[in-house]
Amino acid sequence: MLTLLKLLKDGRFHSGQALGAALGVSRSAVWKQLQHLESELNLSIHKVRGRGYQLQAPLELLEPDQVAGSCLPVSIHESLDSTNAEALRAIDRGVVAPFVILAERQLAGRGRRGRKWISPFAENIYYSLVLRIDGGMRRLEGLSLVVGLAVLRALREMGMEGAGLKWPNDVLVGNKKIAGILLELVGDPADVCHVVIGVGINANMRVANGVDQAWTSIFLESGKAINRNALVSSLNESLLAYLKRHESSGFAAIQAEWEMNHLWQGREVSLIAGVHQVDGTVIGIDQQGALRLRVGGEEKVFSGGELSLRLRHDS
Mean pLDDT of 24-49: 86
CATH number, domain with residue 303? 2.30.30.100
Q: Does position 7 have pLDDT exceeding 60, yes or no?
A: yes
Would you call 256 exposed, middle or buried from its count of C-beta atoms within 10 A (0-12, 13-18, 19+)?
exposed
pLDDT (0 to 100) of residue 315: 45
Q: Same domain for 172 and 244?
A: yes
CATH number, domain with residue 213? 3.30.930.10
Active site residue 116: no
Provide the pLDDT confidence category of residue 173 given band limits of 50, 70 and 90: very high
Which residues are annotated binding-site positions for biotin?
A: 82-84, 106, 110-112, 177
Mean pLDDT of 224-243: 95
Select the highest-mean-pLDDT range: 104-118, 127-141, 163-177: 163-177
Angstrom distance (rounded) from CA 19 to CA 305: 50
Active site residue 112: yes
Range of the domain at 98: 64-260
Q: How many domains does the chain have?
A: 3
Percent of residues, the chain, with pLDDT higher than 70: 94
Fill in the DSSP letter of residue 95. Answer: P
Angstrom distance (rounded) from CA 107 to CA 96: 26
Q: Same domain for 90 and 219?
A: yes
Active site residue 177: yes
Residue 275 phi, psi (nearest 5)? -95, 0
Given the residues 112, 139, 166, 228, the one annotated as active site: 112
Mean pLDDT of 15-39: 88
Given the residues 105, 139, 153, 177, the one annotated as active site: 177
pLDDT (0 to 100) of residue 116: 65
Q: What is the pLDDT of residues 293-309, one digit of tens each?
A: 999 999 999 987 678 89
- What is the pTM for the complete model shown? 0.90
Q: What average pLDDT is seen over the chain?
A: 90
Q: Same domain for 209 and 174?
A: yes
Which segments of the chain are extended strands (E)? 45-48, 52-55, 74-77, 99-103, 125-134, 163-166, 170-173, 176-187, 192-201, 268-273, 276-285, 291-295, 298-302, 308-311
Q: Which residues have C-beta within 8 Å of that of residue 244, sequence separation ≥ 6?
A: none
Given the residues 6, 51, 310, 312, the one annotated as active site: 310
Q: Same domain for 22 and 104?
A: no
